[in-house]
Amino acid sequence: MQDLSHDEKIAPEALISKFEVGKLLRQDQTGRRIAMLGSIDGKQGILIAERAAFATESLEVLRAFRAAITRVNNLGDNDIYRWYLASSGVDERGEQSADLKLNLIWPCTEQHIKKYSDQVVRMVTETPQIYRDYIRPYMSAKREEGRLNWVFNILEGRTEQEDVILRDAGHGPEDGFLMLPDLNWDRKTMGSLHLLALVERRDIWSLRDLKKRHIPWLRYLRQRLLEGTVKMYPDLEQDQLKLYVHYQPTYYHFHIHIVNVMLEAGATQATGKAFGLENLISQLETIDGDDDASMADVSLTYFLGEANELWTNIYGPLKQGTKPALEK
């Protein structure tokens, strides 16, 4: 009978303490999982570590978690949005480390509650007629509620100016835009880089407002965003970046997301939510018509949660064969 190898004789629990770290192989974009190359008794091994999921089994547990949050450091705030780094405990040296990224929305609206709640998701197809008759009026109503104040605060120089990475006036009065870190990024992990570009013009609410005449502007936007990002973060190259826009977007002022292509694609980057900027430009180039031909002239398929007002007020009734009742 063949003898057991040396490492097979070691108790499994003892192997971890004997693991000598050599280098980091990979860190996932949420920062919750790392893979390390090292050795045990001179033989190479890989140790994969993953942070445990948050305990959520009761209100008492959630309250205890909130009570344990210390060393809160505000990274920025704008209107009702605030973001922080904080500590949820102590490290192996008995010191508190900034292991939490916190976002606070306060005071929040019913729409925020619906957005962040678990809900069944539906795929819908928005025809040009549905967009014209129902979605466009819905967008107009939401813009009039003042939900873009935080965007205008940035564009008009009242908040977050220290975070602006790039501000470009473009070639004309309507070409301007700026770029800054997305509030969900920790601002240091390149693998999860997430930036946001806000355009200064206010006549483009979503990708539906993009027309053939905007193609040169969109090309300019794309190139400047790529150049500005790699200049600010020289460890990255342009072909390591992905640019996309959301539809439906969270807010109706045209903006572009710039992320590391290695960023794990969650729901916000999934098909039916994220539309690649390059693909949008190509689609505009192939749409029939003159310079006024636009993305409002095509059907778009995307997903919605059942708690979303677009589902409850528009697509749900349409599915049931009834006419949506738009709020006055």
Query: In terms of C-beta density within 10 A (0-12 exposed, 13-18 middle, 19 or more buried), how is residue 129 classed?
Result: exposed
| Residue 255 annotated in active site | yes
User: Buried (b) or exposed (e) across 166-204, using 16+ Cβ within 10 A?
Assistant: bebebeeeebbbbbbbbbebbbebebbbbbbbbbbbeeb
**Which residues lie closer than 8 Å to 304 by C-beta, 6 or more apart?**
121, 122, 124, 248, 310, 311, 315
Active-site residue, selected from the candidate residues 194, 253, 255, 257: 255
**Three-state SS string across 149-202, please?**
HHHHHHHCCCCCHHHCCEEECCCCCCCCEEEEECCCCCCCCHHHCEEEEEECCC
| Helix ranges (DSSP H) in the chain | 6-9, 12-18, 59-68, 110-115, 128-130, 136-143, 149-155, 215-232, 277-286, 309, 316-319
**Which residues lie closer than 8 Å to 257 by C-beta, 6 or more apart?**
182, 194, 195, 196, 197, 243, 244, 245, 246, 274
- Of the candidates 300, 303, 321, the residue with the CA atom closest to the CA atom of residue 119: 303
Catalytically active residues are 255
